[in-house]
Structure 1
Amino acid sequence: MNQLLPLPVVWSLLLSCAALFSAPLGAASLQAELLDSQGRPLANAVLSLRGPSGPPPAPELSLMDQRAKQFAPNVLVVRSGTAVSFPNSDNIRHHVYSFSPAKRFELRLYQGTPSEPVTFETPGVVVLGCNIHDWMVGYIYVTDDPWFAVSDEQGRINLAQLPAGKYSVSLWHPQAPDMLPQAAGELQLSEAAVQQRFTLAMQGANQPTAPSAPVSAFGEAFKKARDAAQ
């Protein structure tokens, strides 16, 4: 005569099976440190990976906020086809726009959050400006690569849950020569965590990418992005 298992045991077995089938097989991770040519930590640098075939993460809604009359984050990286919302957390109005070839758009003078996000379909650099505050400049780096991240203030990046295999690495920073991405070789990632240091060639001194003084930062940044796309 068959005996039924106690309910707690059944639930335990079901959860174990679910964890087994949902856990990624051969998951790898990368801990990267990004430096400028002087060996200093490089914030706001983009690292992207193109590697083994498989289902990449689906594009999700991203945010480019405006706080204290600055774009936050200063550098945002998204996959092609991602929708980006532009909330305004300041108690004043902003007028966000871009003339970049990768995405031209305009969000006229507003407070709060526009009702519709902006979708970025084409890979490239999108330089953001505010028609009211000339010193405001932000960057959206749009890539077809499925895995990417932006370095923190210490130049660090952590990418987890990657399929094991060989990857091509690309690096980008607003102060990269001609504002173009730089190939950074290949990486072999296994189930063990990999630590790697990368150095980016920079144009000029490593200055903050979000100027606080009212200078025409947008015009200069847009010119570099436009020339790079030609």
Structure 2
Amino acid sequence: MKYDKIAACTGVVVLTSLLSVPARAADVTVTVSDGQGLAVADAAVYLLPLQGRAPRGGQKGSIEQIDKTFVPYVSIVQAGTAVSFPNKDNVRHHVYSFSAPKVFDLKLYSGTPSQPVVFDKPGLVALGCNIHDWMLAYVLVVETPWFAVSKERGSVVVENVPAGDYNMTIWHPRMKEEMMQQVKVGASAQTVRARIILSKPDLRRQGG
């Protein structure tokens, strides 16, 4: 599956899905590196069960504006999550997205808008600011509660994954297409090593 500007994530959530989730669960640590073996930060990792369906979710999240930058740069949330956009700068921002999974427009504001943005459809959402055009961030909306984003050392921990077989997907803004591989989760913690190809340029740039 390729991600250009917008990508759809597969999966259907039903209320009865909780009945199919095994009782045992373990943490899965994924170490992400590039073609040269260097650690990769900001890689979104998520697991979809091969059998049964992931339980319905949707929590609360936050994407801040700090020093005229979105923090974090890459977020991953389950469909139905309400995300707030607190402005920690001493200037106003105008946050928006034209991406099909979630089109929204938070007009010029300071502080935190009274209503969060609910990301209710799976897919890739690119964020921008109408005032500071160098500001860029991504929200990957998935239909599973088992996900995380890698840190500077390339390590990411997906917590409390029920035992079973999964498709593990990795996406990064500099990948031409996502990477997918099957993993088996048992009753004890495990580590998976993944190498990805970063072939697209880094579109972030410093502003004034």
Q: TM-score, normalised by structure 2?
A: 0.83
Who is 1:171 aligned against? 170
8 Å CA contact 2:56–2:144 kept in 1: the answer is no
TM-align CA RMSD: 1.8
- Which residue of structure 2 lines up, in the alignment, with residue 6 of structure 1? none
- Structure 2 counterpart of 1:181, from 175, 178, 181: 178
| Equivalent residue letter for 1:77 | I
Aligned residue for 1:140? 139
Other structure's SS at 2:147 match: strand
> CA offset at residue 172 of structure 1?
0.3
Q: Does 1:199 align with 2:195?
A: yes
Partner Cα distance (1:102, 1:204) in 2: 22
1:190 aligns with 2:186: yes
The Cα shift of 1:54 comes to 6.8
Structure 1 residues 122-162: Cα deviation after superposition (integer angstroms, max 9, x where no partner) = 21111111111111101111111331100001110012221
Aligned-residue offset at 1:81:
1.4
Q: Identity of aligned pairs, percent?
A: 41
Q: How far apart are 1:57 and its partner, in Å? A: 6.6
Is the 2:57–2:144 Cα contact (8 Å) retained in structure 1?
A: no
Measured in 2, the distance between the counterparts of 1:175 and 1:136 equals 16
Aligned pairs for 1:1-80 within 5 A: 25-51=23-49, 53=52, 56=55, 58-80=57-79
Output the CA distance in 2 between the equivalents of 1:107 and 1:125: 18
In 1, Cα distance between the equivalents of 2:54 and 2:183?
19
Q: If the length of structure 1 is used for normalisation, what is the TM-score?
A: 0.76
Matches of 1:46 and 1:96, distance apart in 2: 22
Higher helix share: 1
**Residue ranges of structure 2 left out of the alignment (5+ in a row):** 1-21
Indicate the structure (1 or 2) with the bigger Cα radius of gyration.
Answer: 1
SS at match of 2:138: strand
Gaps of 5+ in 1: 1-23, 215-230
